[in-house]
A and B are shown apart, each in its own frame.
Chain A
Amino acid sequence: MSDGPEAAPSDPAPAGERRARRKAERRDHGRKRRVSVIGVIGELLITAGVVVLFFISWQLWISELIVGHEQQAQAQELNQEWNEQIRDTPAPSPDPSETPEPEEPADTTPPPVQVAPANAVKFAALVVPRWGADYYRTIAEGVGTADVLDKGKLGHYPTTQMPGAVGNFAIAAHRMGHGGSLHYIDELQLGDHIYVETAAGWYQYSFRNLEYVRPTGIGVLDPVPQDPSATPAERYITLTSCNPEHTSNERIIAYGVYDRFYPRDASAPNFGAPDEIAATVSAKA
């Protein structure tokens, strides 16, 4: 009788010890192995999630900063090349009696028109004061995705005219990511100046209006936009990008009309650049 009650309470004690020992063993075991398979998989999954989020933020914001900077540097490089060209070989002015005055619109003399270069060759730069003094991007021939647009450049539709030519100078660029060269296209306001810089000088256009079209709306590229039968008498600029931001459902189109031309001139301050954009184009790369 005395054995029974003694044996009964003595039973839970070893069981508790055993449990404690097992727990301690498991703890030691874990500490010794340090890395468990489940733990590694979990940590890899978390890492993958973080990397994917990082990729998205890169696509949306970081690449825009990086590519924007690259583009600015490339445009400044082009600008300096052109400045050196004009300094080394002063081209004879077509009309030496006419000196461009900032207030006098040079509507009467047609601006020089370049011949389109080979595909993906950059031949111009874009300056839009509305988009900030550091907005300075290159324009290349063609609208190829990999060789032009994804590099942050603006691409010139090869079927459209060159800057300064009567007709339509149409260019495309990304809205988000890849430099987002036309990110703020919807913030343009009537009369905002759009400058296209080439080796010859600066073509000043004034923004007129926005339009939203289907991706198939090639009428925006007509010499007179959206009027295929018309004979052009004016010089237009057309910017195309995607709309809404992030997607490709529609295209946002910005139109401008040509105002005047500022020739590149080695003897003029800032090589003849318009005062409005002098800070942008004369900054050193």
Chain B
Amino acid sequence: MYGALWRALPGPWWVRVIILTVLVAAVAAALVFWVFPWVDQFISGQEVTVE
């Protein structure tokens, strides 16, 4: 899968590394800003109040 992705990318190896870095950063940002906060609602977190 990742091998195929590597071969599908154009350019010399360092261009591919740059493209991959950008891709990984984009995926990480999407996870942090949208996916994780959404998933987090369904995972019961700590309770901090007394009741």
Interface residues of A (CB under 8 A from B): 34-35, 39-40, 43-44, 51, 54-55, 58-59, 62-63, 66, 143, 145-146, 149-150, 155, 157, 172-178, 182, 213, 215-218, 220-221, 240-242, 246-248, 251
Contacts and interface: CB of A to CB of B under 8 A. Distances in A.
6 contacts: A39-B1, A51-B31, A175-B48, A177-B45, A216-B51, A218-B51
A221 B28 CA distance: 41
A178 B45 contact: yes
Nearest to B2: A43
Interface string B20-51: 00000000100110001101110001111111
A77 B20 CA distance: 38
Given A34-B7, A62-B32, A55 B39 contact: yes
Contact of B50 (A55, A145, A155, A217): A217
Nearest to A41: B1
- What's the interface size class on B, roughly? 20 to 34
B41 A146 contact: yes
A150 B48 CA distance: 11
B4 interface: yes
A247 B44 CA distance: 11
Interface of B: 1-4, 7, 28, 31-32, 36-37, 39-41, 45-51
B1 A218 contact: no
A246 B32 contact: no
B32 A248 contact: no
**Per DSSP, are chain B's interface residues mostly helix, strand or loop, or mixed?**
helix
Given A43-B1, A55-B39, A242 B47 contact: yes
B50 A213 contact: yes
A176 B46 contact: yes
Chain A interface mostly: mixed
Contact of A242 (B1, B4, B40, B48): B48
Given A59-B36, A242-B47, 7 more contacts: A55-B31, A63-B37, A146-B41, A177-B45, A213-B50, A248-B47, A251-B48
Contact of B46 (A55, A174, A218): A174
B32 to A, nearest CB: 6
B45 A143 contact: no
Contacts of B47: 215, 242, 248
Contacts of A218: 50-51
Nearest to B39: A55
A228 to B, nearest CB: 14
A63 B41 contact: no
Contacts of B31: 51, 54-55, 58
Contact of A34 (B3, B41, B45): B3
A215 to B, nearest CB: 6
A199 B28 CA distance: 39
A177 B39 CA distance: 14
| Most A Cβ at <10 Å: residue of B2, B7, B41, B50 | B50
